[in-house]
Amino acid sequence: MKYRRLGSSGILVSPICLGTMTYGSPVRENEAVKLTHAAIDLGINFIDTANVYEGYSRVLGSPGGVAEEILGKALRGKREKVILATKVGGPNGPGPQDVGMSVTTILNALEASLKRLATDYVDLYIIHWPDKHTPLETTLSAMETIYRQGKIRAFGVSNHMAYQLCEFLWLADKYGWPKVVSSQIPFSLLKRDFQNDLEFCVDHDIAVTPYQVLQGGLLTGKYKSGKPVPNGSRLDESPGWLSYPLVPLLDQMDATESLAGEAALTLPQYSVAWSLAQPAMASLIVGVKSLAQLEVAVEGAKASIPAEILVKQDAITPPPYRHRAPFSRPHQN
């Protein structure tokens, strides 16, 4: 396993991060513990969770904490082997302080997470969602407090855009507070909305740790043009999950699978390798239900894709249009 830098933190992480959103349901506790141990044995040293995770059975306002409790049990005697990330800010209860990024919410949520995880610190504490109701100065002052206390080793954000990362960096410079070191975004070769933000992350040494790199199973190769949706697949269990037409996606996936064949890779291996080839990528968060799925991701992380194939991929699943800065000077011939 070749480890990568987690931005400016100095932390080294495996290119595959074990995602735990499935812990609780459908991955029950005993299987989740086995899966966590197997991931560590495979060389994965990065594990991602959140205080709201409790599997597919979660509903808005439920207390969460299930995945953290399971991880706390799974990491007994193994805590120092992993870089542990958890999140704060998502709704994990009915009360007014059970959501958002106020000082009270952050301090209370961290103590609860530490108790569930059976640890006295987390390596990476992540702001789960932007909070438009709380000034960034307030949120960052709380992050600075728990950082100085040694309860977190670094902090990152999730679901934030580049301009928001810029605000975090500006305030860190202004007040001498810790800098944001990672950005967790939805990203795959089918979903490249954040592609133009990656250059900003490169320039400012912010590690990108994307989720949905297999696009909810679409990039596993199980869905085929002209064939019925497989029994037991996510699309079979939750038909409303996909909010855009399936047929055009299937055409893109068929063409992408042909490119994967040129690279001597399966579609999921290719999807992982493609994502890791993008700028600023540090580690891909992969949520799995079985060890076999995890092994496929690890194999994909070991692969490389020739440059000419990457160019062909851009023609199939193009990046978003990039506007030139309005006040940039035009190139002179």
- The residues annotated as belonging to the active site are 53
| Strand order across the beta sheet in which 207-208 lies | 207-208, 180-184, 155-158, 124-127, 83-88, 46-48, 16-19, 284-287
User: How far is Cα of residue 199 from the mean position of the Cα atoms in its chain?
Assistant: 18
Kindly report the three-state secondary structure assignment for every residue of the chain: CCCEECHHHCCEECCEEEECCCECCCECHHHHHHHHHHHHHCCCCEEECCCCCCCCCCCCCCCCCHHHHHHHHHCCCCHHHCEEEEEECCCCCCCCCCCCCCHHHHHHHHHHHHHHHCCCCECEEEECCCCCCCCHHHHHHHHHHHHHCCCECCEEEECCCHHHHHHHHHHHHHHCCCCEEEEECECECCECCCHHHHHHHHHCCCEECCECCCHHHHHHCCCCCCCCCCCCCHHHHCHHHCCCCHHHHHHHHHHHHHHHHHCCCCHHHHHHHHHHCCCCECCEEEECCCHHHHHHHHHHHHCCCCHHHHHHHHHHCCCCCCCCCCCCCCCCC
CA distance 46 to 40: 9
Q: What is the distance between the alpha carbons of residues 125 and 140, in angstroms, rounded to a whole number?
A: 12
How many Å apart are CA 317 and CA 252, to the nearest integer?
7
